[in-house]
Amino acid sequence: MSLDAYFQRIGISQPTSADLAGLCAIHAAHPAAIAFENIDALTGRAPELDRSALFSKLVQGRRGGWCFEQNAVLREVLTDLGFRVTALAAWVVWMAPPDAPARPRSHMLLRVDLDDGPYIADVGFGGWLLSQPLRLVVDEVQHTPAGAHRFLLDDGEYVLQAELPTGWMNIYRFTLEPHKPADYLSSNWFVATHPSSIFVRNLLMERLTPQARYSLINDRLTIRRPDGPPETRRIADARTFERLLDETFGVEAPAGLFARVPLGLETLAMPG
């Protein structure tokens, strides 16, 4: 993983020390430059998670990826810079009803230990990307450019919440059990291939910049800016779709992708 190529990709200078300022700079620039997307799963293949494949796709290529790719790249970069990083796994509960059955752990996130304590870094939660690392403290509201967040502790599990106009919404639950790269292979395969996976049947994309949060679900684009109501529009044709992916998400669309995108939305909770 070439650090020079990575920092050129996200458009910032390489931090000179492994501290909070450097972590925040990387965490803000990454989701602004490398979009969340599940194109591989929609087109019938599971993403490769080895180091060379991640570098080729997300850093050298004009593609994004999902949590197992995004946070794996971030883990490699932070480790190479001297940060103390532990990979974790979470149960996604985003947009799920309270009585929904438990799901398997299907999201990758990172714990980064700094001198003032642990932080959660996560640049790969499609549906609600984070703009900065969050200090791992319980019951403390943390205000970020992309909204307010907090952690709760429930029955031995941490719960990450986001404050929405309707109130606090659970995003995912996790423990501090360390995970190795091989631990994510089965989850990556499952969400990329199982018929019940939302990623197999829908296109989900998101990019988070200081100006706006851009979200694409199939043929519906939603733009959320800090100073106004959401803007939503439908994508009518392949040419508009390809231009949108190029100009708004920085992704080069594979040939014929729009023909595989379902029209409309499924009433399903969006996993990470």
Q: Which residue would you say has higher pLDDT here, 187 or 95?
A: 187
Whether 258 shows a pLDDT value over 70: the answer reads yes
* Burial (0-12, 13-18, 19+ Cβ within 10 Å), 70: buried
Which single residue is written with the structure tokens 């429930």?
154
| Alpha-helix runs per DSSP H in 38-93 | 39-42, 51-54, 67-81
Task: Classify the C-alpha dihedral 250-41-70-159 as positive or negative.
Answer: positive
- Rg of the chain on CA atoms, in Å: 17
What is the residue type of 44? Answer: G
* CB-based contact 171:94 (threshold 8 Å): yes
DSSP tag of 51? H
Which single residue is written with the structure tokens 């490699």?
76
DSSP tag of 141? -
pLDDT digits (tens, 9 = 90+) for 180-237: 999 999 999 999 999 989 999 999 999 999 999 999 999 999 999 988 899 999 999 9
The pLDDT of 134-149, averaged and rounded, is 96
Residue 72 has phi, psi (to 5 degrees) of -70, -40
Q: How many residues does the chain have?
A: 272
The pLDDT of 70-82, averaged and rounded, is 97
Going by C-alpha positions, the residue among 201, 181, 180, 199 that lies closest to residue 190 is 199
% of the chain with per-residue pLDDT over 70:
96
Mean of pLDDT over the chain: 93
d(CA 123, CA 241): 24
The encoded tokens of residue 106 equal 């299907």
122 flagged as catalytic: yes
Question: Residue 22 in 3-state DSSP?
Answer: helix
d(CA 272, CA 264): 20
pTM for this one? 0.94
27, 30, 40, 107: the catalytic one is 107
DSSP tag of 55? I
pLDDT digits (tens, 9 = 90+) for 1-47: 799 999 999 999 999 899 999 999 999 999 999 999 999 999 999 99
d(CA 18, CA 38): 31
Least confident span in 48-52, 67-71, 102-106, 253-257: 102-106
HSE-CB of 7 using CA atoms within 13 angstroms: 16
Please, what are the domains in the chain?
Answer: 193-260 (3.30.2140.10)
194 flagged as catalytic: no
- What pLDDT is stored for residue 103 in this prediction? 81
40, 122, 149, 219: the catalytic one is 122
27 flagged as catalytic: no
The pLDDT of 231-252, averaged and rounded, is 95
- What pLDDT is stored for residue 270 in this prediction? 39
- What pLDDT is stored for residue 100 in this prediction? 78
27, 30, 40, 67: the catalytic one is 67
